[in-house]
Each structure stands twice: as C-alpha cells, then as structure tokens.
Amino acid sequence: MIVSIILSFESSADETSVAVVKDGNKILSNEIATQIKSHQRFGGIVPEVASRHHIERVTILVDEALADANITYADIDAIAVTYGPGLVGSLLIGVTAAKTIAWAHNIPLVPTSHLAGHIMAARFVKPIEYPALALLVSGGHTELVYLPREGAFEVLGETRDDAAGESYDKVGRVMGIAYPAGKTIDELAHQGKDTFNFPRAMENDGTYEFSFSGLKSAFINTYHNAQQRDEVLNKENLAASFQAAVVDVLVNKTAQALDHYPVKQLLLGGGVAANQGLRTALANLLANYDTEFIPVPLKLAGDNAAMIGAAGEIFYRKGRRGTYDLNADPSLEF
Ligand code: KG4
Ligand code: ZN
C-alpha cells in the first residue's frame, strides 16, 4: 500500500489550522488556533480581524504540526489547502502559506474545498463506502450531497437563505448568548420542551432545499413581543422549540433523500454536526434504513485542517495539482 503524508492548511473563517495526515485517514497532528474571543464582542466574524490573526498564527502552526507529527518537510508527499469557500482575505493566508512551502520544498500542491473537507472528516471514523449521502451543516452551509463514488460530490439541495449554524448564532445573539451560540442553545434545549411550535419551512415541499430565515424571524418576533409585554419567556423552552424546528426539517429532508438515493452510509459533517439533538434524531431515523450512520467525531465537527488532509488525499491520489497562481475562490462548492 502506498503511504502518503499530507500537510494541510485551513483558514477559511475564524480558525487557523495546520495538520499532518497519513493516508488520508490517520491524524499525526492537527493544530487549531481559534479566534473566537476576538470576534465575540462583535457577535460574528470581522473579516479584517480574521485575516490578521491568520497571518500571526500560520507559520507557528506549521512548525508545531511538523514537530507534533515528528516529521520534516522531506517527509511530505503533498500539501492540501482550503482555497474556498470562505472569506477571501482569510483564505488567501492559507493559500499563500501553502504555495510558499510547496514552492520552497518542491512539494505538489492540492487545492481542496472546505466543504469536501467537512464531509471527508468521516474518513477518520472508518472507510467511506459508496454510494454515500452527506448532510453538511455548518455556519455557512446547509446542504444534502450525494456521493456516487470517491471524489464525486453532487449537491442535491442547499439553503436558500441562512445556514443552520448561522440561524443558531443569530437567535443566540437575540438571547444574549455569546457567539457562536450553537453549543449553548443545544445544551439549553436539552433542559426544555418544544412549547412554541415554530415554523418548519419547506419541510414537505418535495425539494432538497432549506430555508431558515422564517424560523429566525418567528423566533425574534416571539422574543421581542414578549419583551414589550415585560414577559420573560422560558429560555430552555425557547431553545428546545427552536432546535426542534431545525432538527425536524434536517431529518425530514434527509429521510426524503435516503428514500430516493439508497446509500450505504450517511455522513454528517460541519460545525452543527456536533449538535446532540441532531445526532440522536438521525441515529433514530437510520434505524429504519439499511444505511450506516457516520457522524463526524465531535472534535472534528468544527473547522480544522485534518479534514482538509482527508479530502486532499483523495484529490492527490486522483492527480489533482495546483499551480503557483492558485487563487482563493470565496464561492467555491466542491
Ligand atoms: O463548520 P464550522 O466550524 O464553521 C463553518 O464552516 O461555518 O461551523 C460553525 C457553526 C456555528 O454556527 C456554531 O454555532 C455551530 O457551528 N455549532 C453548533 C453546535 N456547535 C457548533 N450548532 C448547533 N449545535 C451545536 N452543538
Ligand atoms: Zn466549516
């Protein structure tokens, strides 16, 4: 078997990360520097601040990733880098660092999609069997993706407005919860009940598309109307009701996709894949299907470079190579 060592970079949003991955499925190191604290007081990511932090951290993280993996540049077979989607100024830091090292040490460069990375993080659990279906839920994306074979990604449908994680963060902001609010709302939800019955948009419309902006508005209206009446709503029930609406739609659309695309595995990836309510609901759904459920490990749900190594290894094996004029592509899909 061919052994490959991949050095990978991720800098699309507010995490700078550099990893070393062996054969696309073993993590030798995965250094992650989060900037959350710097963005918290603004309630979301400030692009200019994000770029500056990426510059400060990226070379230090390369040294750490090599040291932790106990390798030198001479051991590296390829460099995988996220070149989109994401914030252009942030992406460019990872792309520039990766290109520089690729050029200086004459190592092949493999441009890699952040979305493919989130989905391929499942490789750290077990080998992926095709055809597979992926539910990708993050701060920037909500999509159902069909994978007929290795390296092929067909988007069945995606959100028309807010992403699932984005709606968690926006609702959290109204409730006074620090950014990113997903984890806290998830925890609150487990102590409450679905008493508000918020809308489940497009739940049974037959498409694979999503819409979360109506849910967000319904939540915010309920919250503000209560405030005007000096009424204090139960936070746990609010969180539980919001989460139930999000999870119901995600699970129903996934069921519809599984009915039309019989697959061997369902992969769950992206920051919102850490959601306990969603993981439980999908595990229950899959009890009715001949499909294996592979949720990404909690530690690898959020942005990290190891997942870019996992996806990059596939593209590397298939011969994809980047040139030194590789640019960031903020609206890249796969
Ligand atoms: O994948 P990710 O780290 O970054 C993007 O590529 O967007 O996802 C971050 C998103 C944030 O919106 C955050 O609130 C959400 O993931 N998130 C969660 C949970 N943990 C993180 N949402 C719901 N439940 C969670 N437990
Ligand atoms: Zn992400």
Ligand nearest to the CA of 268: 1
182-189 and 164-174 helices, crossing angle to 10°: 80
pLDDT at 43: 84
CB distance 94 to ligand 1 below 6 Å: no
Is the CB of 61 inside a 6 Å radius of any atom of ligand 1?
A: no
The single-letter DSSP state of residue 24 is: T
Lookup: tokens for 117: 């990375």
Query: Residues in the chain with pLDDT < 50?
Result: none
pLDDT of residue 1: 59
Cβ of residue 169 lying under 6 Å from some atom of ligand 1: yes
Measure CA 36 to chain center.
16
The token duo for 181 is 């609010």
Name the closest-CA residue to atom 5, ligand 1. 139
Ligand that comes closest to the CA of residue 139: 1
Which pLDDT belongs to residue 3?
87
Q: Topology of 5-120+303-317 in CATH?
A: Nucleotidyltransferase; domain 5 (3.30.420)
With beta carbons less than 8 A apart as the criterion, state whether 132 and 264 touch.
Answer: yes
d(CA 213, CA 222): 14
Q: How many CB atoms sit inside 10 A of residue 332's CB?
A: 19
> What ranges in the chain are assigned the alpha helix state H?
36-40, 47-69, 88-105, 114-120, 164-174, 182-189, 213-228, 235-260, 276-286, 306-317
Which of 92, 4, 9 has the alpha carbon at shortest distance from 308?
9
What DSSP string runs through 100-133? HHHHHHT--EEEEEHHHHHHHGGGGTS---SSEE
Ligand 1 proximity of 309 Cβ (cutoff 6 Å): no
* Residue 319, pLDDT score: 97
CB-ligand 1 contact for 270 (6 Å cutoff): yes
Question: According to the CATH classification, is domain 129-295 in 3.50.50.60?
Answer: no
Q: What pLDDT shows up at residue 44?
A: 84
Pairing outcome for strands 265-269 and 154-158: unpaired
- Residue type for 147, please? L
Nearest bound ligand to CA 10? 2
Q: How far is the CA of 73 from the CAs of 62, 83, 99, 184, 319, in angstroms?
A: 10, 21, 14, 40, 21
Q: Which residues are annotated as a binding site for substrate?
A: 136-140, 169, 182, 186, 275
**How far apart, in whole angstroms, are the C-alpha atoms of residue 125 and residue 13?**
25
Which residues on neighbouring strands pair with residue 332, listed in sequence order?
none
Rounded to the nearest 5°, which phi and psi values hold at 70? 60, 45
Residues of the chain with CATH 3.30.420.40: 5-120+303-317, 129-295
Atom nearest to 187 CA in ligand 1? 26
* Digit-coded pLDDT (tens) for 90-130: 999 999 999 999 999 999 999 999 999 999 999 999 999 99
Q: What angle do CA 208, 252, 181 make, to 5 degrees?
A: 90
pTM, 2 dp: 0.97
- As for the ipTM of the complex, it is 0.99
d(CA 78, CA 106): 9
